[in-house]
Amino acid sequence: TGLSIKKSDFHIPVNNKNHHTEEISTERLIVRRGQPFTVTVNFSAPIHNYLQQMKRTFLIAQTGRHPTAPDEIHTEFPISSLGDQKQWSAALEKQDLCFWTLTVNTPANAPIGHYTLFLCASQSSYFLGKFILLFNPWCQADEVFLPNEAQRQEYILNQDGVIYWGTENAVVAQPWDFSQFEEDIVDICSTLLCLGEHHQGEKDLTQRKSPVHVCRAVAATLNCNKLRRILTECEDEQYHNGTHPSKWLGSSPILRQWIASKYQPVRYGQCWVFAAVMCSVLRCLGIPTRVVTGFTWAHNTKSSLNVDEYYDEDGTLLTQDESPRVWTFHVWNECWMARADLLPEYSGWQALDATCQEKSKGKISEMGLSPSFCGPAPVHAIKEGDTEVDYDVCYFFAAVNAKCQVWIQKAGDTPKPAFGGTKYTGNNISTKSVGSEYCKDITHNYKYPEGSLKEKEVLDKAYRNLQKLETTTSSTTQFSSIPIALEEPVNLFIQLQSRCSLQLGQDIPLSIEMFNYSGGEKATHLVVGIQSLHYNGVPITQLWKEEFHFNLQSNE
């Protein structure tokens, strides 16, 4: 009889601990690329009896998109006394009569996924076992390498997080269980990646070596693949046939429900739920990821730097369907990676937004899909106004830099700009601090201080880039940096003060101060009202309104 293998030992507890995956599983080998792992092979008879066969011995690693096609990528590599850490290799570390202990090296740019390992001797191959290969933020040669250990603990290994929402002056902290290391989650993530690649039309499995590719495939499945997306939004705000987005407290119930229903969209999600699930999936796959919240976010701008809000004479916000709108807050993700496809300065944090956007055609969305996810976009490029950089920098730049002009729409008349009616977007951009629940302001990563000379330079550059884009696409968006002049000066100063955070049931104290600094008396009609809005800027109803008529003397 020929050589045979009695059993193989993947040393799962030790290997998984060394690869920071012991929390995912103690039963399956889960390793990170660019880092060696140990395998012991137990032969059925003393090896010296088969020296001729053993001279032609090598390993095979196979991976595929589906279990039915496990060998789409087939890699053969020899067993030697010295392994090569830059490519697939195996080194013989220890041997005795019936045992070989091997150190297997995977390259730092190997495609992630499920692998099968075989040992081949002469004309025969022997199944050794299966393992899962993930990205490795601990490996300096990996594109997702993160040099700071505290950040690796936070953005890969921490399963407890905080998501911020509310308003920029009254931020609410929502605890979230990312549960990225519950054992079945890694398999769900693999399925999700396959479906995302199919939706993107991507057939080259070697692309899984790229964190950019993986981020885009995951984002495509999360909310934009209408057939098999994980979550769906509720268009009419009626949640009776699903779960209200605010009721979700963790990612695993959503992912498990999606798998159990054979990929039926889970009802319902909003931006913070999409971002939280995205964070769970990417951390599970080994990409450092965090959840980010921005307040007063310009949505659906199609890269325009202008947003218009229309009010009637009583100050009631008028609904503008599908038009750009200022959201009270918006939540997205940042992923850490080197951008091998871009200049070195664009490596680092990348903005990724799984909430579907209406995007213009052309460079903004090379596949022409609308609506679609956005990113990953280098945060450095967003700050510098490099709006031509991939992917979707122009979208993020507009969302945090657009100016919102307020208009008064009188019945039967053309809209007129309101005095002091410009609102600024992209305020108090926040994320959870490393190692604590403190809310960290990272606005400075996205934009220069309002009114600074550097901000003006960046805005001017972005306007020029966007106007170039305008001439090369079919978009009808108009770009303008010229402030709108009022027909005549009003010469009234109005200040409204109110407490920004109140308990339910409390009265709302309002203080309104008006000052007439014109040279004459002014007959004044003051309308004060309160209107409720959804967080995405859609008005619900006017709750209260009161009118005042009085004369203000000069300098009164």
Number of Cβ within a 10 Å radius of residue 408: 16
Rg (CA), the chain: 29
Alpha carbon dihedral 263, 266, 270, 274, in 10-degree steps, equals: -40
Q: Please tell me which residue in 114, 213, 299, 330 is annotated as part of the active site.
A: 330
**Pair of tokens at residue 413:** 């008349």
CA distance 37 to 83: 12
Task: Give 313-320's long-range contacts (Cβ < 8 A, gap of 24+).
Answer: 313/408, 313/410, 313/411, 313/527, 314/527, 314/529, 314/542, 314/545, 315/527, 315/528, 315/529, 315/531, 315/545, 316/529, 316/531, 316/539, 316/542, 317/531, 317/533, 317/539, 318/409, 318/539, 319/538, 319/539
Q: What is the DSSP letter of 417?
A: E
What Å distances lie between residue 203 and 196, 208, 372, 443, CA to CA? 11, 10, 20, 38
Phi first, then psi, for residue 40 (nearest 5°) are -110, 130
Q: Please tell me which residue in 353, 386, 390, 392 is annotated as part of the active site.
A: 353
**Pair of tokens at residue 526:** 């003051």
Q: Which residues contact 406 (CB under 8 A, 6 or more apart)?
A: 309, 311, 417, 418, 421, 422, 423
Half-sphere exposure of 106 (CA within 13 A, CB side): 29
User: Where would I find the beta strands (DSSP E) of 208-305?
Assistant: 231-232, 266-267, 289-299
Q: Please tell me which residue in 215, 224, 271, 335 is annotated as part of the active site.
A: 271
Q: Which residues contact 434 (CB under 8 A, 6 or more apart)?
A: 150, 151, 153, 154
Write a three-state SS string for 100-130. EEEEEECCCCCCCEEEEEEEEECCEEEEEEE
Do 223 and 270 contact (CB within 8 A), yes or no? Answer: no
Catalytic site includes residue 271: yes
- Catalytic positions are 271, 330, 353
